[in-house]
Structure 1
Amino acid sequence: MDLKLKVSSYYPSLTKSEQKVADYVLGASESIMYRSVTELADLSGVGETTVMRFCRAIGFKGYQDFKLALAQDYSPHRQAREGSPEAGEDDGGYPALVHRELASILADTMDLLDRTRLDEAVRRIHEAGYVQLFGVGTSGLTALDAKNRLLRIGLRAEAATDAHIQAMMAVTMGPGDVAVGISLSGSTLDTVDLLAKARQQGAYIIAITNYAKSPITAEADLVLLTAGKESPLEGGSIGAKMSQLLVIDLICEGLARYDLPRTREMRERMAKAVIERIY
Structure 2
Amino acid sequence: MDLKLKVSSYYPSLTKSEQKVADYMLNASEDIMYRSVTELADLSGVGETTVMRFCRAIGFKGYQDFKLALAQDYSPRRQAGGRDAQGAEDDGDYPALVYRELTSILSDTMSLIDRSKLNEAVRRIHEASYLQFFGVGTSGLTALDAKNRMLRIGRRAEAITDAHIQAMMAVTMGLGDVAVGISLSGSTLDTVDLLTKARQQGAYVIALTNYAKSPITSVADLVLLTAGKESPLEGGSIGAKMSQLLVIDLICEGLARHDLSYTREMRERTAKAVIERIY
TM-score, length-normalised on structure 2? 0.98
Superposed CA RMSD: 1.4
Q: How does 1:120-269 map to 2 (within 5 A)?
A: 120-269=120-269
1:171·1:197 contact (CA, 8 Å) conserved in 2? yes
Q: How does 1:19-168 map to 2 (within 5 A)?
A: 19-82=19-82, 88=88, 91=91, 93-168=93-168
Please, which runs of 5 or more residues in structure 1 have no aligned partner?
A: none
Over the matched positions of the two proteins, sequence identity in percent amounts to 87
Count of residues in Structure 1 that have an aligned counterpart in Structure 2: 279
> Counterpart of 1:88 in 2: which secondary structure?
helix
What amino acid is aligned across from residue 207 of structure 1 in structure 2? A
Distance in 2 (CA, whole Å) between partners of 1:115 and 1:83 is 32
> Counterpart of 1:211 in 2: which secondary structure?
coil
> Which residue in 1 is equivalent to 2:17?
17
State the Cα distance separating 1:277 from its structure 2 match.
1.1
1:157-190: CA deviation from partner (whole Å, max 9, x where unpaired): 0000100000000000000000000000000000
1:3-50: CA deviation from partner (whole Å, max 9, x where unpaired): 001111000000000000001001100100000000000000100000
1:243-272: CA deviation from partner (whole Å, max 9, x where unpaired): 000000000000000000000000011011
> Counterpart of 1:107 in 2: which secondary structure?
helix
> Which residue in 2 is equivalent to 1:276?
276
Distance in 1 (CA, whole Å) between partners of 2:98 and 2:171 is 41
CA 1:214 to 1:277, structure 2 compared with 1: closer, same or farther past 3 Å?
A: same
CA 1:155 to 1:276, structure 2 compared with 1: closer, same or farther past 3 Å?
A: same
TM-score, length-normalised on structure 1? 0.98
1:186·1:217 contact (CA, 8 Å) conserved in 2? yes
> Counterpart of 1:109 in 2: which secondary structure?
helix
State the Cα distance separating 1:88 from its structure 2 match.
3.1
Please, which runs of 5 or more residues in structure 2 have no aligned partner?
A: none
Distance in 1 (CA, whole Å) between partners of 2:26 and 2:86 is 33
1:104-124: CA deviation from partner (whole Å, max 9, x where unpaired): 000000010100000000000
1:86·1:93 contact (CA, 8 Å) conserved in 2? no
CA 1:235 to 1:84, structure 2 compared with 1: closer, same or farther past 3 Å?
A: closer
State the Cα distance separating 1:91 from its structure 2 match.
3.5
Distance in 2 (CA, whole Å) between partners of 1:83 and 1:221 is 36
> Which residue in 1 is equivalent to 2:2?
2
2:134·2:159 contact (CA, 8 Å) conserved in 1? yes
2:78·2:84 contact (CA, 8 Å) conserved in 1? no
What amino acid is aligned across from residue 154 of structure 1 in structure 2? G
CA 1:83 to 1:117, structure 2 compared with 1: closer, same or farther past 3 Å?
A: closer
State the Cα distance separating 1:275 from its structure 2 match.
1.1
